Amino acid sequence: MRLQEIQMRDPFILTDWRSNCYYLYGTTDKDPWKAEGVSFETYRSTDLVHWEGPFTIFTPPLGFWGTHNFWAPEVHFHNDAYYLFASFKSVENRRGTHILVSSSPLGPFAPVSPKPATPAAWECLDGTFFLDEEGQPWMVFCHEWVQTNDGEIAAQRLSADLCRPVGEPELLFKASSAVWPKKLARRDGSGIIDARVTDGPFMHRTKDGTLLMLWSTVSETGYAMGYAASSSGRLQGPWLQQEKPLIQCDGGHGMIFRSFEGVLYLTYHSPNKTPNERPFFVALEERDGGLVCR
């Protein structure tokens, strides 16, 4: 298969040195919005061009709390295991990010705990893994605009085995700290036009040590993705937003990976309408502590 044949939102690439293969994960249910959640699937490649699959890596076990919105799986290798971060929702539970684990990038993945790692009272999504300078694991995630109006990106400290959150989440920034998100109508029925979206954070450390965060939103040109830079080089920031999006072609929710040959790539989905979304790869260059598409 080629990328243009794969319907997928929120693409994520694992460059797996153990198997010398690339694994492409993402939102793969045909109707991820209203239908009951089915599964997560992955595709495998050795050259980023030809893909085999799909391979089913997760189906909900009996009693699993999430029933809908199986969104944005990411797989990270940590402590000799593969950890999957993904969003779920149900009628009884607010949307949240759950962490799962497997001994293989092909799964099957099983929950590390009965509950998601995000606060039960919050509407959350798109948790991503980050390991700080002291080796402390974190999950960076979105506190959704549907609840906060001004969407937030927060960080949650995790236990060493990633099985539970430790302490309270820390606010990193709000969508309004950037100039390019479009103001939307609040979801509370008030008619006030001041809500802004945060979506799909991903952490990237450049070769010169600059800490960057990709994130997506709705801009005046549609779905778009930009990035912020931590002026301290640490997760706590402060975070300085770029003036313009990196991707503004009705595409977003991306991440950065490096090929086996050392080439840096950005992957994201475009367009943003189901069932037309497809994963894209774009070569990246790190320049002056920032990112430039090549």
Please give the pLDDT value at position 153: 98
pLDDT band at 292 (very low <50, low <70, confident <90, very high): very high
Amino acid of residue 44: R
pLDDT band at 66 (very low <50, low <70, confident <90, very high): very high
Closest alpha carbon to 142 in 91, 51, 248, 213: 213
240-251 pLDDT, tens per residue?
999 999 999 899
The residue range of the domain holding 83 is 3-293
68-107 pLDDT, tens per residue?
999 999 999 999 999 999 999 999 999 999 999 999 999 9
- The set of residues, in sequence order, having a beta carbon less than 8 Å from that of 100 and lying 6+ positions away, is 58, 83, 84, 86, 109, 110, 111, 112
Please give the pLDDT value at position 208: 94
Please give the pLDDT value at position 70: 98
Number of domains in the chain: 1
Please give the pLDDT value at position 167: 98
Please give the pLDDT value at position 109: 98
Burial of 124 (0-12, 13-18, 19+ CB in 10 A): buried
CA 113 to the chain's CA centroid = 20
pLDDT band at 287 (very low <50, low <70, confident <90, very high): very high
Please give the pLDDT value at position 158: 98
Please give the pLDDT value at position 241: 98
Please give the pLDDT value at position 246: 96
Closest alpha carbon to 178 in 194, 196, 205: 196
Which CATH number do you get for residue 170?
2.115.10.20
- The set of residues, in sequence order, having a beta carbon less than 8 Å from that of 127 and lying 6+ positions away, is 74, 85, 86, 87, 97, 99, 117, 118, 139, 140, 141, 156
Query: Against a cut of 0.85, is the pTM above it?
Result: yes
| DSSP-assigned beta bridge partners for residue 86 | 98
Please give the pLDDT value at position 93: 97
- Residues, the chain: 294
111-144 pLDDT, tens per residue?
999 999 999 999 999 999 999 999 999 999 999 9
Please give the pLDDT value at position 84: 98
Neighbour count for residue 146 (Cβ, 10 Å): 16
Averaged over 51-68, what is the pLDDT?
Answer: 97
Q: Is 175 helix (H, G, I), strand (E, B) or coil?
A: helix
